Amino acid sequence: MTRLEFKNVTVQYPIYNSRGMSLRNQLVRIGTGGRIESEAGHVSIVTALKDVSFSLSEGDAVALIGHNGAGKSTMLRTMAGVYAPNAGEIIREGRVATVLEMGAGMDMELSGYENIIRMSILMGVSMQEIKDRISDIEEFTQLGDFLNLPVRTYSSGMATRLMFAVTTSTRPDILLVDEIFGTGDADFQEKAKKRMEDLIASVGIFVFASHNNELVKGYCNRFFRVQHGRVDEISRDEVG
Amino acid sequence: MASESRYPALEDLRRAMGNWSIVRFMALSDMRARYKRSVLGPLWITLGTAIGSAGLGVLWSELLKVDPKTFVPSLTAGLIIWQLISGVLTDSCSLFGRQASIIRNMNLPLSIHPMQLIFKHVINFGHNIPIFFVLALFLSVPMNFNTLLFIPGFILVSLNLLWICLVVGLLGARFRDFEFMVANVMPLLMFVSPVFYRPNYLPFSENVIWANPLSYFIEVIRAPLLGSVPPVFVYQVILSMLVFGWIFAIWLFNKKHSRVAFWI
Q: Does A10 touch chain B (CB under 8 A)?
A: no
Indicate the average pLDDT of chain B: 85
> Is the per-residue pLDDT at A229 higher than 90?
no
Q: Does A161 touch chain B (CB under 8 A)?
A: no
Q: Does A101 touch chain B (CB under 8 A)?
A: yes
Identify whether the C-beta of residue A102 lies closer than 8 Å to the C-beta of residue A155: no
CA of A220 vs chain B CAs: smallest distance (Å)? 22
Tell me, what's the pLDDT at B166? Answer: 93
Q: Does A77 touch chain B (CB under 8 A)?
A: yes
Mean local confidence (pLDDT), A168-192: 75
Separation of alpha carbons B95 and B116, rounded Å: 10
> Is the per-residue pLDDT at A119 higher than 70?
yes
Separation of alpha carbons A73 and B104, rounded Å: 11
Which residue in B26, B37, B105, B112 has the most chain A C-beta atoms within 10 A of its own C-beta, making it the best mutation to test that interface? B105
- Which residues are paired to A61 by β-bridges? A206
Identify whether the C-beta of residue B177 lies closer than 8 Å to the C-beta of residue A23: yes
Tell me, what's the pLDDT at B198? Answer: 67
- How much is the pTM? 0.85
Task: Give the closest of B36, B37, B105 to A105, CB-based.
Answer: B105
Identify whether the C-beta of residue B66 lies closer than 8 Å to the C-beta of residue B201: yes
* A residues 130-159 lying closer than 8 A (beta carbon) to B: 150
Tell me, what's the pLDDT at A32? Answer: 65
The verdict on a CB contact (< 8 Å) between A122 and B106 is yes
| Cross-sheet strand order for the sheet of A174-177 | A96-99, A174-177, A205-209, A61-65, A222-227, A230-234
Separation of alpha carbons B195 and B197, rounded Å: 6
> Is the per-residue pLDDT at B3 higher than 60?
no
Tell me, what's the pLDDT at B153? Answer: 93
Mean local confidence (pLDDT), A122-145: 84
Separation of alpha carbons A54 and B55, rounded Å: 67
Q: Does A96 touch chain B (CB under 8 A)?
A: yes
Looking only at the bridges linking them, the beta strands covering A96-99 and A174-177 are: parallel
Q: What is the band of B34 on the pLDDT scale with cuts at 50, 70, 90?
A: low
Separation of alpha carbons A79 and A88, rounded Å: 13
The verdict on a CB contact (< 8 Å) between A22 and B25 is no
Q: Does A129 touch chain B (CB under 8 A)?
A: no
Separation of alpha carbons B63 and B77, rounded Å: 19
The verdict on a CB contact (< 8 Å) between B175 and A96 is no
Tell me, what's the pLDDT at A42? Answer: 64
- Which domains does chain A carry? 3-7+55-239 (3.40.50.300)
Q: Please tell me which residue of chain B has the smallest CA distance to A109.
A: B33
Identify whether the C-beta of residue B243 lies closer than 8 Å to the C-beta of residue B150: no
Tell me, what's the pLDDT at B262? Answer: 82
Q: B4 contacts in A (CB within 8 Å)?
A: 84-85, 89-90
At residue A128's C-alpha, the angle toward residues A125 and A134, to 5°, is 80
At residue B54's C-alpha, the angle toward residues B51 and B60, to 5°, is 130
> Is the per-residue pLDDT at A138 higher than 80?
yes
Percent of chain A with pLDDT over 90: 0
Q: What is the band of B251 on the pLDDT scale with cuts at 50, 70, 90?
A: very high
Separation of alpha carbons B256 and B157, rounded Å: 25
| CA Rg value for chain B | 19
Name the burial class of residue B118, with classes exposed (0-12), middle (13-18) and buried (19+) by CB atoms within 10 angstroms of its CB: buried
Question: What are the pLDDT digits (tens) for A30-85?
Answer: 766 555 555 545 677 888 888 888 888 888 888 888 887 778 888 888 988 888 88
Domain edges within chain B: 41-263
Q: Does A121 touch chain B (CB under 8 A)?
A: yes
Measured CB to CB, residues of chain B less than 8 Å from chain A are 1-4, 8, 19, 21-22, 25-26, 29-30, 32-34, 36-37, 101-108, 171, 174-178, 181, 257-259, 261-262
Identify whether the C-beta of residue A169 lies closer than 8 Å to the C-beta of residue A175: no
Tell me, what's the pLDDT at B88? Answer: 93
Question: What are the pLDDT digits (tens) for A190-216?
Answer: 777 777 778 778 888 888 888 877 777
Question: What are the pLDDT digits (tens) for B54-104?
Answer: 888 888 888 877 788 888 888 889 889 998 999 999 999 988 888 888 888
Q: A85 contacts in B (CB within 8 Å)?
A: 4
The verdict on a CB contact (< 8 Å) between B257 and A106 is no
Q: Does A91 touch chain B (CB under 8 A)?
A: yes
Task: Give the closest of B1, B175, B259 to A92, CB-based.
Answer: B1
| Highest-confidence segment of A155-159, B157-161, B210-214, B224-228 | B157-161
CA of A146 vs chain B CAs: smallest distance (Å)? 17
Task: Give the closest of A96, A121, A150 to B107, CB-based.
Answer: A96
Q: B38 contacts in A (CB within 8 Å)?
A: none
Which residue in B175, B178, B182, B259 has the most chain A C-beta atoms within 10 A of its own C-beta, making it the best mutation to test that interface? B175
The verdict on a CB contact (< 8 Å) between A77 and B261 is yes
Question: What are the pLDDT digits (tens) for B103-134?
Answer: 888 888 889 999 999 999 998 898 888 888 88
Name the burial class of residue B38, with classes exposed (0-12), middle (13-18) and buried (19+) by CB atoms within 10 angstroms of its CB: exposed
CA of A81 vs chain B CAs: smallest distance (Å)? 5
The verdict on a CB contact (< 8 Å) between A22 and B4 is no
Question: What are the pLDDT digits (tens) for B158-209?
Answer: 999 999 999 999 999 888 888 888 989 998 888 888 887 766 666 666 777 7
> Is the per-residue pLDDT at B237 higher than 60?
yes
Q: Does A28 touch chain B (CB under 8 A)?
A: no
